[in-house]
Amino acid sequence: MAYRVLGRAGPPQPRRARRLLFAFTLSLSCTYLCYSLLCCCDDLGQSRLLGAPRCLRGPRAGGQKLLQKSRPCDLPGPTPSEPSAPSAPAAAAPAPRLSGSNHSGSPKLGTKRLPQALIVGVKKGGTRAVLEFIRVHPDVRALGTEPHFFDRNYGRGLDWYRSLMPRTLESQITLEKTPSYFVTQEAPRRIFNMSRDTKLIVVVRNPVTRAISDYTQTLSKKPDIPTFEGLSFRNRTLGLVDVSWNAIRIGMYALHLESWLRYFPLAQIHFVSGERLITDPAGEMGRVQDFLGIKRLITDKHFYFNKTKGFPCLKKTESSLLPRCLGKSKGRTHVQIDPEVIDQLREFYRPYNIKFYETVGQDFRWE
């Protein structure tokens, strides 16, 4: 009776009640979701403006995360009106790992620089030995090959030359060796134009012994060349030495030195005795280190004498399990030369040697 008065057809059906409950629940969920998003966005915005750490961490925030109540930051950032010292991070980030690539610009790996020092001569004087010995020093980085820039490749330019160099730190010296520079007329001027402060090292040796060594090397490559005597003299009977032969001309040290002294003071040129380099390698290398302005770290403990080769070798080091000797092309047995030819060449070189001694202030005792 009551239901008819209200104009209802009957009591509400269960299906309709469920629909109303679902709609109410959905509306409430949407409202809560919007509120959560607004809170999160407000926290993130304040974090970015004030430099504080973000409240929500983690790269993945799915729907379930967003429905969770946002938690406050552990270390809230300061407000603009209340500056404070930067807070320490919760966990220290690992230091960046340095790449081992030579193309890296990291200062720890160094920079390619033009050489500050050059071994400019002389061929068959002991230049390779000096290079290998000085490379043991941690303050020296040297190019292993001979670039021949100031005699054969000058037209390639200084950028090409620099690109060949090893990377060095500010505290290290870049060094290269090309023995033919000493007898190249244009080399002193070209090196001076690169840097007037370049330090020059010249390894010299008894010019007669040096010429025989030079001939021995050439003979091993060209067995059909004339004899040493035939190449050394224009007229042996008259004692006329052929100075056009390069093996003879290189040993006229005083003549070549004149070109260098036009551009560099004598104090900027260091002369190494090829003979003392064999008998006292530590002493000679000590003077080389002094000349380069580096600490004397290469000492007697680095050398032993190789009786087979007839010259000193480097002992094994922590980085090398084997001792280091020069290559097979070094220490060859010289060809036998007529003693009279040797005497004639000694007389020829005598005035050049004396002038050389007087100029450099050293007596190398080649007579």
Whether 212 is covered by a domain: the verdict is yes
Domain total in the chain: 1
Residue 130 has pLDDT above 60, yes or no: yes
18 in a known ligand binding site = no
Q: What is the mean pLDDT of residues 66-78?
A: 39
218 in a known ligand binding site = no
Provide the pLDDT confidence category of residue 50 given band limits of 50, 70 and 90. very low
125 in a known ligand binding site = yes
126 in a known ligand binding site = yes
Domain limits for position 186:
115-360
Provide the pLDDT confidence category of residue 155 given band limits of 50, 70 and 90. very high
Q: How far apart are the first and last CA of the chain?
A: 148
Q: What is the mean pLDDT of residues 144-167?
A: 98
Q: What is the mean pLDDT of residues 225-244?
A: 97
8-17, 52-61, 170-179, 200-209: segment of lowest average pLDDT: 52-61
Q: What is the mean pLDDT of residues 44-50?
A: 38
Q: What is the mean pLDDT of residues 83-101?
A: 35
Whether 345 is covered by a domain: the verdict is yes
299 in a known ligand binding site = no
Residue 295 belongs to domain with CATH number: 3.40.50.300
Per-residue pLDDT tens for 195-217?
Answer: 999 999 999 999 999 999 999 99
Whether 42 is covered by a domain: the verdict is no
Q: What is the mean pLDDT of the chain?
A: 79
Whether 73 is covered by a domain: the verdict is no
27-31, 181-185, 203-207, 307-311: segment of lowest average pLDDT: 27-31
Whether 303 is covered by a domain: the verdict is yes
Q: What is the pLDDT of residue 301?
A: 95
148 in a known ligand binding site = no
Q: Among this protein's residues, is 124 annotated catalytic? A: yes
Give the pTM. Answer: 0.69
Whether 16 is covered by a domain: the verdict is no
Q: What is the pLDDT of residue 367?
A: 83
Q: What is the mean pLDDT of residues 279-304?
A: 97
Whether 43 is covered by a domain: the verdict is no
Q: What is the dihedral of CA 308, 213, 250, 303, to 10 degrees?
A: 0
Whether 27 is covered by a domain: the verdict is no
Q: Which residue has the higher pLDDT, 109 or 76?
A: 109
Selecting among 112, 123, 124, 222, the annotated active-site residue is 124
